[in-house]
């Protein structure tokens, strides 16, 4: 029997104050062995999750990229990985819904993931969808009001909609199509090769910094980089350092301090393994495409919508490219308002 093994005492006490949102957080133990989509098997899986919002409100699952985690938002916009967009009174208004999220299988959070020197099976977006279903069942939620997924989270939303159409009323997929674009796979393949080479040399953390720096170069647009990093280089202790180089490797170092190399390899691969059958997805879907997105071209999003049975396309422009879902609050607000309009 699946059961909760841990509660955060502060979060539980919040439930007794009716003037505050109810926040529940825990780790679910999955009994026995689970079979994964690509043939692997895992036992003793732990699933770390968080549910926050008004008691008895509809539940919206909010899922992000491979570096996202279960804390979607907090009291301030700077708290949580999507705090600028999600929260009470924000674009996705958490005063109207309960927001559910979890640490991904294979990631760096408290959900089961790879450890140094230990083999770990390939993980599919279908596997993440299966774990989300287990969590929904445990919480006693008959059907999710919606899944809002961005980047990898949008892939998981599509996988869930294909497998469990009766358990979600609608989905929003932002910068995520039915499969990865080959050019994006090319970039990520190089990132993974760099990281594996560094790990073989005993420098896994440094390899992760470099891999993440390369990834960051694909997340934003040419226009943003031109506006921010056209200044002259400086001469440092190790030679010439360009402004964009300094930015990328600072972000890489920050990422490497918070994530494990093995988790990056696992979930980066999971993105490129992603393939769902759009022709079998009948759940109402809103697809948000960013015209400047280098990783998920707008043409891929248009083809996805053409194959879906019940979908609409919402196109936006943003200098933030693939990262637009983290920044473009005003442009995303109409999409989320359509989700919550019937609730309000």
Which positions are annotated as active-site residues?
151, 293, 322
Comparing CA positions, the residue from 317, 176, 195, 324 lying closest to residue 255 is 195
User: What is the rounded distance in angstroms from the CA atom of residue 286 to the CA atom of residue 311?
Assistant: 6
Question: Torsions phi, psi of 19, nearest 5?
Answer: -85, -10
User: CA–CA distance from 186 to each of 50, 192, 205 (Å)?
Assistant: 34, 10, 22
d(CA 255, CA 263): 12
Looking only at the bridges linking them, the beta strands covering 285-290 and 311-316 are: parallel
Q: How far, in Å, CA of 88 to CA of 98, rounded? A: 10
- What count of Cα atoms within 13 Å lies in the side-chain half-sphere of residue 218? 19
CA dihedral for 143, 144, 149, 152, sign (positive or negative): negative
Kindly list the distances between the CA atom of residue 291 and the CA atoms of 301, 313, 317, 326, in Å, as whole numbers in the listed order: 10, 12, 5, 15
- Distance CA(49)–CA(28), nearest Å, equals 8
CA 128 to chain centre: 11
Residues 6 or more apart from 252 whose CB is under 8 A from it?
208, 209, 210, 211, 212, 213, 216
């Amino acid at each position: 029997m699946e059961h909760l093994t841990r509660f955060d005492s502060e979060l539980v006490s919040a439930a007794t104050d009716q003037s505050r949102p109810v926040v529940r957080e825990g780790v679910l133990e999955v009994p026995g062995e689970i079979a994964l989509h690509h043939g692997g098997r895992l036992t003793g899986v732990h699933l770390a999750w968080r549910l926050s919002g008004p008691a008895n409100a509809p539940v919206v699952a909010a899922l992000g990229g491979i570096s996202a985690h279960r804390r979607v938002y907090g009291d301030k916009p700077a708290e949580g990985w999507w705090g600028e967009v999600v929260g009470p009174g924000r674009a996705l208004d958490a005063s109207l819904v309960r927001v559910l999220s979890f640490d991904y299988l294979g990631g760096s959070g408290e959900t089961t993931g790879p450890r140094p020197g230990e083999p770990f099976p390939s993980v599919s977006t279908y596997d993440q969808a299966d774990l989300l279903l287990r969590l929904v069942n445990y919480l006693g939620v008959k059907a999710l009001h919606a899944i809002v997924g961005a980047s990898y989270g949008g892939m998981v939303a599509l996988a869930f909609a294909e497998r469990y159409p009766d358990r979600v009323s609608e989905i929003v997929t932002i910068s995520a199509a039915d499969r990865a674009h080959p050019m994006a796979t090319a970039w990520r393949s190089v990132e993974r090769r760099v990281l594996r080479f560094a790990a073989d040399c005993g420098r896994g953390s440094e390899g992760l910094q470099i891999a993440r720096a390369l990834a960051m170069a694909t997340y934003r647009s040419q226009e943003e980089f031109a506006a921010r990093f056209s200044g002259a280089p400086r001469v440092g202790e190790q030679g010439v350092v360009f402004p964009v180089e300094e930015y990328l490797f600072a972000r890489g170092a920050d990422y490497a301090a918070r994530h494990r190399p093995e988790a990056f390899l696992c979930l980066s691969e999971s993105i490129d393994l992603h393939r769902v059958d759009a022709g079998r997805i009948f759940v109402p879907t809103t697809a948000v495409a960013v015209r400047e997105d280098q990783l998920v071209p707008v043409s891929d999003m248009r083809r996805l919508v053409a194959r879906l049975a019940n979908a609409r396309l919402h196109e936006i422009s943003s200098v933030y490219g693939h990262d637009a879902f983290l920044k473009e609050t005003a442009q995303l607000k109409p999409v989320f308002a359509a989700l919550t309009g019937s609730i309000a």
